[in-house]
Structure formats: C-alpha cells, structure tokens
Amino acid sequence: MADCVNFHFDIDGDNFTSAGEASVRIKKLLRQMEFDAEIIRRVSVAMYEGEINMVIHADGGTADVNVYCDRIEIILKDNGPGIPDINLAMQEGYSTAPDNIRSLGFGAGMGLPNMKRYTDGMKIESEVGKGTTIYMTVNA
Amino acid sequence: MKIRTIAELLDAKVLCGAENIDKEVHSACGCDMMSDVLAFVKEQAVLITGLCNPQVVRTAEMMDMRCIVFVRGKTPPKEVIALAEDAGIVILASNERMYVACGKLYANGLSGGSVVNG
C-alpha cells in the first residue's frame, strides 16, 4: 500500500436520499484494502453521521479521507451556519434538527457524540456564519 | 436462528436477499431511530423497524447487519430494496406490529445481544 491514499467526495446537501453514499463507498474501499472489520465499521459510521449532519444542517460539503497504513483520517468540511456552542452540541440528546428529519430516523442528538465514540481523535473547528470542519482519526 | 425461521415466525414476505435466507443470526434490535441504532448496536444482525427510507438500509449496512424486518405492513419503495440487494441484506416484510414481532423473536430464542458502552 502507498504511504497515503486520498479519497475526496462532494456531499450533496439537497438530497437526503443519497446521504451516506460516500460512507458506503469508503466502507467498500477499506474492505478491498483489507482493513480489520471493526476499524472499517468505526470509520464508516463516524463518516456516515458526519455526512448526515452536513445534509441536515449545512447544505452539504466535502469529505476527504486519508488512508495510511496505521490510521485513517476523515476531514469533513462545510460552509453551513456553524456551531455556536460546541460543548452543548457534543451532549447526547441535544439536537437542533427539524421535526421532518426526526421522522426520517435522525435528529436524536447522537450524531456528534457517535462520531467521538467511534473515533480515536476528533477536533471540531467552527465559526458561526462561516462553516464547520471536523477532523477525525481512527487508528488501524 | 436462521433468517428463514424469522420469516416463518413473523409470516413475512421475502422482498430481497433470498439467497442469504439460510444464514444464521444470533441477535436483533427493534428501533425506528437510526441514530440510536448507530449509537447502541454492537453485534445485532437483524434490524426490526417500521421506518421505510434508504437510510435504514445504509444504517444496517454500516453496522454489518444481515437482515431488515419491516413491520406494521410497511412495504419499502423499490430504491430501498435495490440498495439492500446491492448490500446483500435480506429484507422481510411483516404485518406484525413492532412489539409483537420483537416478542415473538425473543420468545423463540433470538436475543437482544450486547450493546456498545458509552
């Protein structure tokens, strides 16, 4: 395997139906690269939650996945409204998602906590009115 | 328990994945909130739900689940079935309500399994 393989995805913000397509592709790619099943699950769930968040809150964005031999980095970037209080947003059960999203099975306030739960490192940079970038790492 | 047995117990139709119907599964969860499935599922191979959108299949795929049971007589749209077919997931459709479906499977030995610790 090369030192680093990068995958880039544009996340469509208008289409809840297609949300998660990038995560499914990453899951398949990591399987082809023969990573451990539990590592693959943790990467794909964290990325999937991030994708869903970008569609719900930020009108889409981009996802970059850097695959190294010993770790997988996920960088999710959007130009959405930003997160005014990151500590509050990290609390399980806290959600600003609209009711129509809850009727689709999301918006329970578990997205960011799940991303932290499934990764070994997570950093959020957010500016209100400008957007949010989330860096996550899963050690392989 | 074989997926075939689940279909028989719930009098369910097999909508896709018939080639995997004799696979063994050991635990299940019943949930309409996909966020909670992503948060708490660990090794459950069967998802019992009344929610019928593509994210149900994607959630099951993320969690390496093998079978989705749609309850309350819900029939998923074609694109949902196509996604499941692509992922190799068996889809069953039953007229049972969630509570009864879960109860029947639990009473016949399909456990809830363990959950992820916070």
pLDDT digits (tens, 9 = 90+) for B5-16: 999 999 999 999
CA torsion A104-A110-A111-A115 (nearest 10°) is -140
| Contact with chain A for residue B24, Cβ under 8 A | no
Domain ranges of chain B: 3-107
| Reported confidence tier of residue A1, pLDDT bands at 50, 70, 90 | low
Choose, out of B62, B64, B79, the residue to mutate when testing the contact with A (most A CBs < 10 Å).
Answer: B62
Please name the residue ranges forming H helices in chain B. 3-9, 34-40, 54-62, 78-87, 98-107
Predicted local distance difference test score (pLDDT) of residue B42: 77
Instruction: Closest CB to B34: pick one of A92, A106, A117.
Output: A106
The tokens for B105 are 């499977």
pLDDT digits (tens, 9 = 90+) for B38-92: 988 877 799 999 999 999 999 999 999 999 999 999 899 999 999 999 999 999 9
Contact A105 B33 (CB under 8 A): yes
Q: Does the domain spanning B3-107 belong to CATH 3.90.550.10?
A: no
Q: For A36-41, what is the mean pLDDT? A: 94
DSSP bridge partners of A127? A131
pLDDT digits (tens, 9 = 90+) for A75-115: 999 999 999 999 999 999 999 998 889 888 999 899 999 99
Query: What CATH number has the domain spanning A5-139?
Result: 3.30.565.10
Choose, out of A49, A94, A112, the residue to mutate when testing the contact with B (most B CBs < 10 Å).
Answer: A49
pLDDT digits (tens, 9 = 90+) for B79-102: 999 999 999 999 999 999 999 999
| Contact with chain A for residue B108, Cβ under 8 A | no
Domain ranges of chain A: 5-139
Q: The complex's ipTM? A: 0.88
Predicted local distance difference test score (pLDDT) of residue B45: 92
A vs B, Cβ pairs < 8 A, gives 71
Query: How far, CA to CA in Å, does B6 sit from each of A45, A72, A137, B10, B46?
Result: 27, 37, 38, 6, 10
Residues of chain A in Cβ contact (below 8 Å) with chain B: 16-20, 23-24, 27, 37, 41, 44-45, 48-49, 52, 92, 104-111, 113-114, 117
CA distance B31 to A105: 9
- Measuring CA to CA, which residue among B38, B18, B17, B30 is closest to residue B85? B17
Using a CB-CB distance cutoff of 8 angstroms, which residues of chain B are in contact with residue A48? 38, 58-59, 62
Q: How many angstroms away from the CA of B109 is the closest CA of chain A?
A: 26
> What proportion of chain A, given as a percentage, has pLDDT over 90?
86
Give, for B17, the enclosing helix (H) or strand (E): none
